[in-house]
Amino acid sequence: MGERVRGRRVRTGRRASVAVLPAAVAAVVLTGCSGFLVPAGEGEPVPAPTATAEAPPPPPPPPSATPPPVADVPAQGPDPSPAPAPTGECPASGAVVTMGEVLATMMSRAVVLTLTNCGSKPYRVDGYPSVQALGEDGERLPVKVNPAGSQFGRDQGPEALTLKPGATVKSMLAWVSTQEGGELVMADALELAAAPDAGARVYPLEGHDIRYMDELNITAWRAELPGG
């Protein structure tokens, strides 16, 4: 709320009244020899005021022969070097993980994960992706993630690799069921990262039957996808 300003009463002094005499009484002349005030008409005649014509406005100054200097303004045109279009945010780690389309076979599901060096320096990778199932409110769900293969491909184990900027490696994430699995857990999203200490991204699972999980199997990062 704005501040309320209270009004103040200001005192003003009384204006002095000015007596205005008629023109016939106020016009008097002072005689040079007697020093008396003589009413107008009894002494020398007062010359009638002569009408003075209004002076015409001064003519405009002649235009200058030399125009004022004009500042040089660069011509407006297309930027010769436009800024590149944004390609998405790159985590501080310099690596970003994306999830591919769902693969389906014989009641099994899997997705290919791709790690890209989105930074400007070489990125070293040696291990497995970080995968975490999330609930509706973003809470972590008790879905076990195993470093192992599946019918989509065997796990060849970790391999130390150094990725140049723009280079990629891949991993296979598969949905598996166990005999002691019991009821399936329904997840709303997956949190994916290149490694546990790297920047993560959240991928919603809406519209897919892969929301229902028992356990997940993940293969190590490799330059090529593992064979079956």
CATH number, position 156: 2.60.40
Q: Is residue 24 part of a domain?
A: no
Say if 199 falls within a structural domain: yes
Which three-class secondary structure state does DSSP give residue 211? Answer: helix
Residue 86 lies in a domain: no
Q: Is residue 189 part of a domain?
A: yes
In a domain, 133, yes or no: yes
Tell whether 81 is covered by a domain. no
Q: What is the pLDDT along the chain (228 residues), one digit of tens a residue?
A: 444 433 333 333 334 333 333 443 333 333 343 443 334 444 455 455 554 455 566 666 555 544 444 334 333 333 333 333 234 588 888 999 999 999 998 889 999 999 999 999 999 999 999 999 999 999 999 999 999 999 999 999 999 999 999 999 999 999 999 888 788 999 999 999 999 888 899 999 987 889 999 999 999 999 998 665
pTM above 0.75, yes or no: no
Domain that holds residue 179: 95-218
Distance from C-alpha of 202 to C-alpha of 207, rounded to nearest angstrom? 16
The reply to whether 21 falls in a domain is no
CB 189 within 8 A of CB 204: yes
Place of tokens 């491909």: 153
Look at the chain and report how many structural domains it folds into: 1
